[in-house]
Structure 1
Amino acid sequence: MNPLVQVKDLAMRFDVSAPWLNRVLERKPKQFVHAVDGISFDIPKGKTLALVGESGCGKSTVARLLVGLYKPSGGSVAFDGRDTREWFGAKDSLSLRRRLQMIFQDPYASLNPRWKVADIVAEPLTEQGVLKDPAAIRARVAELLTMVGLNPLDGAKYPHQFSGGQRQRISIARALATAPEFLVCDEPTSALDVSVQAQVLNIMKDLQAKQGLTYLFISHNLAVVRHMADQIGVMYLGRLVELADKAALFANPRHPYTRMLLDAIPDIHLTGRDRVAVQGEVPNPLNPPSGCSFHPRCPHANERCKQERPALQDFKGIRVACHAVAEARI
């Protein structure tokens, strides 16, 4: 069975140069940030791939590339076997936009404070021409609000009358309005309290089971990822450094960066295992290190790591970009 989403060598660079006159006077070249630097992955239908990593590693840029908010600098994204760059520009682009939606990180910023909840949830239905009859739209909005654990009468209220968790449920209801197959979730619970996070995540899991949804789940919280994901990709400075099934990654992390991320999670079982906190800081993306970009923070780095960038290779079903793993040094 072909994956629903196929990403190949996806790249995104941003021009962060100074204004033209400043560059001429100071004789400086253009500057670019490689926010996403050639990543590839597949997401099977009905499954969840999670992307994790520290802030600034390019996770949210990947999310925006997949839903067409950015045009990639290189590589391709295929949805149901069709290239999305071509599809977004085609006459039938609405059919693609109905089939993929995004849930944003901040439920306080992503909902229009001047609109009633019923209008917010109904907007995709009217904008994309899914429903035209006002009675049918009202019935669909009531169904969507019920689906995410809210009361249909809540449609008459404004966003400020709800808590953060309830607002995120409204965001989920809006995203589900067009009955999409694929949801891109950009840290959908990071702005919420821990107890509320669990409620929202459980709603998302239930919806996935009932409707066969496919998720790309962006997070920096590995506990959340463990609850949601089938497969996990670990990103560092715009590149994938490890890609594995959830069970394999948590049981036997291979890349030194993945090990550091897992060691940073509080150990409630106090297993006595040696733990190494995440050390150092993410390098300046304007001037990334040579070779493997993780080498300044890596306890296993050698001369090859400083000079040669590792490729993502398959090691017993886990894909890892690390010279130390390839040479069996760790």
Structure 2
Amino acid sequence: MSGSFVEVKDLSKRFDVSAPWLNRVLERRPRQFVHAVDGVSFSIERGKTLALVGESGCGKSTVARLLVGLYGASEGQVLLEGQDCAAGWAGPQAAALRRRMQMIFQDPYASLNPRWKVLDIVGEPLREHGLVRGGAELTQRVGELLRSVGLAAADGEKYPHQFSGGQRQRISIARALATQPEFLICDEPTSALDVSVQAQVLNLMKDLQRERGLTYLFISHNLAVVRHVADQVGVMYLGRIVELADKAELFSAPRHPYTRMLLDAIPDIHMTGRARTPVQGEVPNPLNPPSGCSFHPRCPLANERCSRERPSLQAFKGIQVACHAVSEGRS
């Protein structure tokens, strides 16, 4: 962990979802909190990609927003080359830290201002951080950024509505690259795109990683996409990481029952005719999570200990997994 470029330690985020004060007094209801992220830890080496996967509502996007400072953490730390990011956002180094970390958002239709030309959208970080002097240099730099993501420099004079979804996401990537960041947080950057366009954007991101030595945190619910881009994979369930392993290890020998369930749901042309196990049950209500292991109501290997005692993430044969069945050899 000590040689990691990005390090996350016991990161937690609680949201207050209580009813208004008067309702609580009249109805004698207590305050309510959702533990969107609950003690998440991981590290990423420079130039590598860690993917976080899981069903909708498991806390993946909240982790992304905590890393870039859009949310403040309830507990825990985010370190970039040993520097505490929470202290960095609040101090004089905030602008320098923000240049090093950028985010690509999920929806290319919502993340670009429809009233601005592409030149202004991609050029805003350059102006904001004082990286260009004058309009001519701005136009030149934006043109270079657009060409680096497979668009033309002349596209700077167009508006977002004149582009397809895949082209809009390329504009988002160009904007994220404007400050020459070292770390990109990608929050499901291809989920709103057609499958053929997804492949183009993913290949572009891999090319940019090789050329610029970028480090990625890649958020996704699509395991096929993760298999294409990731070096390491963390599987999240109800705000916690339940398994963390190298990509090859996780896909070839998944340990946690939830990881197996997710992988079993992927269509595979080589396994035609094999009985498939769909993902069983529903994600519990995060306002009232189950006792013990939060996955135990859906787990085929659960026993009495699983419903009583919450497992911690422990190293096991080269991977990290939070599961009593694995630690006891019941899997």
Name the CA distance, whole Å, in 2 between partners of 1:4 and 1:98.
15
Q: Which residue of 2 aligns with 1:317?
A: 318
Three-state SS of the structure 1 residue aligned to 2:270 is coil
- Report the AA paired with residue 170 of structure 2: R
Name the CA distance, whole Å, in 2 between partners of 1:209 and 1:264.
31
Equivalent residues in 2 for 1:233-244 (5 A)? 233-244=234-245
Q: Which residue of 2 aligns with 1:77?
A: 78
- Report the AA paired with residue 204 of structure 1: M
- Report the AA paired with residue 271 of structure 2: L
TM-superposed CA distance for 1:271, in Å, is 6.4
- In structure 1, the gaps of 5 or more residues are none
Three-state SS of the structure 2 residue aligned to 1:311 is coil
Q: Which residue of 2 aligns with 1:149?
A: 150
Note the alpha carbon deviations across 1:255-304, whole angstroms, 9 max, x for none.
00000000000011126665321010000000000000000000000000
Q: Which residue of 2 aligns with 1:223?
A: 224
Q: Which residue of 1 aligns with 2:212?
A: 211
Name the CA distance, whole Å, in 1 between partners of 2:133 and 2:123.
11
Note the alpha carbon deviations across 1:216-275, whole angstroms, 9 max, x for none.
000000000000000000000000000000000000000000000000000111266653
TM-superposed CA distance for 1:126, in Å, is 0.4
Name the CA distance, whole Å, in 2 between partners of 1:156 and 1:139.
13
Q: Which residue of 2 aligns with 1:10?
A: 11
Equivalent residues in 2 for 1:40-119 (5 A)? 40-119=41-120
Name the CA distance, whole Å, in 2 between partners of 1:320 and 1:58.
18
- Report the AA paired with residue 123 of structure 1: E
Q: Which residue of 1 aligns with 2:165?
A: 164
Three-state SS of the structure 2 residue aligned to 1:299 is coil
Q: Which residue of 2 aligns with 1:256?
A: 257
Name the CA distance, whole Å, in 1 between partners of 2:47 and 2:275.
37
Q: Which residue of 2 aligns with 1:181?
A: 182
- In structure 2, the gaps of 5 or more residues are none
TM-superposed CA distance for 1:305, in Å, is 0.2
Name the CA distance, whole Å, in 1 between partners of 2:100 and 2:40.
23
- Report the AA paired with residue 237 of structure 2: Y
Equivalent residues in 2 for 1:235-314 (5 A)? 235-270=236-271, 275-314=276-315
Three-state SS of the structure 2 residue aligned to 1:141 is helix
Q: Which runs of 4+ in 1 moved over 4 A?
A: 271-274
Name the CA distance, whole Å, in 1 between partners of 2:158 and 2:42.
41
Q: Which residue of 2 aligns with 1:191?
A: 192
The TM-score with structure 1 as length reference comes to: 0.99
Q: Which residue of 2 aligns with 1:34?
A: 35
Name the CA distance, whole Å, in 2 between partners of 1:292 and 1:235.
13
Aligned Cα RMSD in Å? 0.9
The TM-score with structure 2 as length reference comes to: 0.98
Provide closer, same or farther for how the CA distance between residues 271 and 250 of structure 1 changes in structure 2, counting only shifts above 3 A.
farther
- Report the AA paired with residue 308 of structure 1: E
Three-state SS of the structure 2 residue aligned to 1:13 is strand
Note the alpha carbon deviations across 1:121-143, whole angstroms, 9 max, x for none.
00000011122232221111000
Name the CA distance, whole Å, in 2 between partners of 1:129 and 1:12.
33
Name the CA distance, whole Å, in 2 between partners of 1:156 and 1:179.
22
- Report the AA paired with residue 71 of structure 1: G
Three-state SS of the structure 1 residue aligned to 2:271 is coil
Name the CA distance, whole Å, in 1 between partners of 2:89 and 2:222.
32
Q: Which residue of 2 aligns with 1:125?
A: 126
TM-superposed CA distance for 1:4, in Å, is 1.1
Name the CA distance, whole Å, in 2 between partners of 1:234 and 1:129.
39
Name the CA distance, whole Å, in 1 between partners of 2:266 and 2:198.
17
Name the CA distance, whole Å, in 1 between partners of 2:76 and 2:90.
17
- Report the AA paired with residue 259 of structure 2: T
Three-state SS of the structure 2 residue aligned to 1:269 is helix
Provide closer, same or farther for how the CA distance between residues 230 and 85 of structure 1 changes in structure 2, counting only shifts above 3 A.
same
Name the CA distance, whole Å, in 1 between partners of 2:137 and 2:47.
28
Three-state SS of the structure 2 residue aligned to 1:139 is helix
Name the CA distance, whole Å, in 2 between partners of 1:120 and 1:2.
36
Name the CA distance, whole Å, in 1 between partners of 2:275 and 2:83.
47
- Report the AA paired with residue 257 of structure 2: P
Note the alpha carbon deviations across 1:194-232, whole angstroms, 9 max, x for none.
000000000000000000000000000000000000000
Name the CA distance, whole Å, in 2 between partners of 1:289 and 1:275.
27
Three-state SS of the structure 2 residue aligned to 1:265 is coil
Three-state SS of the structure 2 residue aligned to 1:38 is strand
